[in-house]
Structure formats: C-alpha cells, structure tokens
Amino acid sequence: MRALPLLLIAVLAAAGCQRDDANPADAAPPASQTPSTDATGAGTTASDTHTSADSAPPVPAAPPSAGVSLALVAALDEHEVAAAEQARNRKLSAATREYAQMLHREHTENLAALRSLASADHLAEPQTTAEVHALVGRGKASLETLATVDDADYERAWLQAMVDGHTHALAMLDERLIPAARDEPVRNFLNNTRDHLAMHLERGRALLESTGAR
C-alpha cells in the first residue's frame, strides 16, 4: 500500500521538472520588451535611442543690440587704458613704453567718442549684460596675472597680453558687432574702432617679435 504514494510523488516531481524546462531563464522576453524594428526589419540601432535634442545644433547667439555693442567696446577700451597705466609703472624698453602710451591715448579717445555717440538722442545707452560682465572679468584677471610677473619677464608677458587681447577684440568686431550694426553712426564707429585695433595688433606683434617672444 505504501508503494502507491511513493510512485505518485515521483510522477509529480517529474511533471514539475518539465514545467521548469518549458520556461528557461534565457527565453526571449515578451513582445512588449523586445526592441522595435524599422521598416527594413534591421532593428533598433544606437542612434535610434537619441532624442532630437541630443543631435540639435547649438542655438547661435542673438545679434547684439547697439547698446550691447557699445558696452562691449567700452569694456575693451577701459581694459586697454588700465593695461597701459599698469605698464607705465614697470620696466619697459623705450619702444614698448611708447606703444603703451599710444594705447592709453587712442583707447581714451575712442572711449570718449563712444560716450559721445551713446549720448545721441537716437541711440541707446550701453547695456551691461552677462557677456559684458564676462569680458570685464577676463580683463581684470589678465591684469591681476600681469601684476605678479617679475620685471625681467614683464615686458614680454605684457606684449603677449596686448596681442592676445587685440586679436580677440578684432574677432568679436568682425564676427558679431559690425555685422549686427544697423545704425550707420554705430557701424561707422565700430569700423573706425576696428582700424585702430588692427594697427595696435600689428604694432604689438612687431614689438613682441623684437623681444624674441613667440
């Protein structure tokens, strides 16, 4: 009589094993979990997982208004005047000292012309924006760094800063400020500013080369 229960247990155990084998761990997931395929049946690729925001090109900066353009140029002029004043108190060659004096004079004159232009009835006052603040901050940081340079290396470091600064200023005028200028007096002022900056850059590069710096 005991043989029958033991036989029944063995049969049930065998049935359980068959049920486990019917659903192996590596079985394909439900259709709702499988990658979707495209029209060619090739399946989802890595690029398909990106959203449109991932591949969207960066939004270009909005063209600056006349007020912002004037504020940016004012920041440039003020920085160059401050840089020339700093250089006056350091050991410089006669040629570099003359260059510093020219920068002080011409950037002061340009700043006066800018303020006169901004006071005209049809023009907005210079507008201080985050971009203007950033430009002012970079200028201050540059002067603070130069102030720590020894006299033996100051002239070359200062000339390099003038070359770098005028290069950046010319790029900003050519790429953003002048193309965005719609008011003729503003455009004329910016073009005149560009002419002076180009001359300053050429002179600064010549002096830098004469010192043996690259």
Quick: pLDDT tens for 110-150: 999 998 888 775 555 667 788 999 999 999 999 999 999 99
Going from the C-alpha of 7 to that of each of 4, 16, 17, 18, 204, the distances in angstroms are 5, 15, 16, 17, 103
Measured distance CA(182)–CA(184) in Å, rounded: 6
Residue 57 within a domain: no
How would DSSP label each residue in 99-118?
HHHHHHHHHHHHHHHHHHHH
Residue 78 within a domain: yes
Residue 36 within a domain: no
Question: What is the residue whose two structure tokens read 């009589």?
Answer: 1
Kindly report the CATH number assigned to the domain that includes residue 137: 1.20.1260.10
Residue 59 within a domain: no
Tokens matching residue 197: 């900056």
Residue 81 within a domain: yes
Domain hosting 72: range is 66-210
Residue 138 within a domain: yes
Across the range 97-120, mean pLDDT stands at 93
Residue 45 within a domain: no
Whether residue 11 has pLDDT greater than 50 = no
Which is higher by pLDDT, 135 or 55? 135
Across the range 200-209, mean pLDDT stands at 97
Residue 183 within a domain: yes
DSSP-based three-state secondary structure for 28: coil
**Which amino acid is residue 89, in one-letter code?**
N
What is the number of structural domains in the chain?
1
Across the range 51-56, mean pLDDT stands at 49
pLDDT of residue 126: 66
pLDDT of residue 124: 57
Measured distance CA(19)–CA(138) in Å, rounded: 73
* Cβ-contact 120, 140 below 8 angstroms: no
Tokens matching residue 8: 């029944």
Measured distance CA(127)–CA(69) in Å, rounded: 8
